[in-house]
Amino acid sequence: MRIALFATCLADTLFPEAAKATALLLERLGHEVVFPFEQTCCGQMHVNTGYQKDALPLVKRYVKTFDPYDVIVAPSGSCVGSIRHQHAMVAAKYGDAGLASRASSVGERTYELSELLIDVLKIEDVGAFYPHKVTYHPTCHSLRMTRVGDKPLRLLRQVRGLDLVELPAAEQCCGFGGTFAIKNAETSSAMLADKMTNIVSTGADVCSAGDASCLMHIGGGLSRLRSGVRTVHLAEILAATES
């Protein structure tokens, strides 16, 4: 299958391993991956901080860049959530009805990685090997906006060598929330403290998630505390093989 990759601005800039892993995994599974260079950012930061009008060009850019493709994937439940649930709203409000309907259509063709694998490519065992003790943070937008459910866990359970340990209070927010982490830095830190306590309590070597943004937050805290727990994107685990 020909799949267009939306790397997301965060993974493109700061976490290229997550985007690389997404591309390499899909290629290993026999698919053609396309990376349109005109892509930048989905505009979620602008929408969620109160700058919807400024997000309009980014919505337009996303729609124009990805409209030619039947299947689009992003290694982020949060960006996919924004594309699916906010693009058409911004387009209708500041653009026009035509853009809004195209945005809806492109949104419907945009999948978070675990959705693409399970719902579209119908595969749960991606042939990965990852001999580590891993706990999984399901991320708020993956759960409650994109609604990926337990798909990431189903994929992880098939990974050879992987010891999956349950994260207590997994569904609680890590405190990132985009600019929330800056505007309400102290409340955000208090939420992060509890998330880190739960992660450390599992005894896992690795905390994984389907969003580089939450991992940047959790990883930033774990690193500051010298906790010895690493954060690794779901795509990197699924892309890892024995050879």
Partner 1 sequence: MTTFLGMPATAPRGVGNLRGDQTFPEAAHDALGNDQMRRNLRHATTTIRGKSGKVIGELPDWQRLRDAGSAIKADVMARLPFLLEQLEQNVTAAGGIVHWAADANEANAIVTRLVKETGSDRVIKVKSMATQEIGLNEALEEAGIAPVETDLAELIVQLGHDKPSHILVPAIHRNRSEIREIFLREMPGVDPALTDDPPVLAAAARRYLRETFLSTTVAVSGANFAIADTGTLAVVESEGNGRMCLTLPDTLITVMGIEKVLPTWQDLEVFLQLLPRASTGERMNPYTTMWTGVTPGDGPQNFHLILLDNGRSAVLADEAGRSALHCIRCSACLNVCPVYERTGGHAYGSVYPGPIGAILSPQLTGIEDNASLPYASSLCGACFDACPVKIDIPSILVHLRNEVPHPRGERAAMKAAARIMDRPRLYASAQRAAKLARIAGRRGRGLPPPLTGWTASRDLPEMPSQTFRDWWAAR
As to burial, measured by CB atoms within 10 angstroms (0-12 exposed, 13-18 middle, 19+ buried), residue 106 is: buried
The CB-of-158 to partner 1 minimum distance in angstroms stands at 26
CB 19 within 8 A of CB 75: yes
228 touches partner 1 (CB under 8 A): no
Among 28, 29, 57, 133, binds partner 1 (CB under 8 A): 57
Q: Which is nearer to partner 1, 140 or 237 (CB)?
A: 140
Q: Is the C-alpha dihedral spanning 157, 145, 62, 214 positive or negative? A: negative
CB 170 within 8 A of CB 195: no
184 touches partner 1 (CB under 8 A): yes
129 touches partner 1 (CB under 8 A): no
97 touches partner 1 (CB under 8 A): no
Query: 149-178: which residues touch partner 1 (CB under 8 A)?
Result: 171-173, 175-178
Distance CA 182, CA 205 (A): 28
Q: Which residues, other chains included, contact 52 with Cβ-Cβ below 8 Å and sequence gap of 6+?
A: 46, 90, 93, 94
191 touches partner 1 (CB under 8 A): yes
Q: Which residues pair with 32 in a beta bridge?
A: 2
Q: Which is nearer to partner 1, 23 or 229 (CB)?
A: 23
Among 4, 26, 39, 135, binds partner 1 (CB under 8 A): 39
| Sheet of 2-5, strand order | 32-34, 2-5, 72-74, 110-112
Q: Total binding residues for partner 1 by CB under 8 A? A: 66
Chain residues that interact with partner 1, rule: CB under 8 A: 7, 9, 11-17, 19-20, 23, 35, 37-41, 43, 45-52, 54-55, 57-58, 61, 86, 140-141, 143-145, 171-173, 175-192, 216-217, 219-221, 223-224
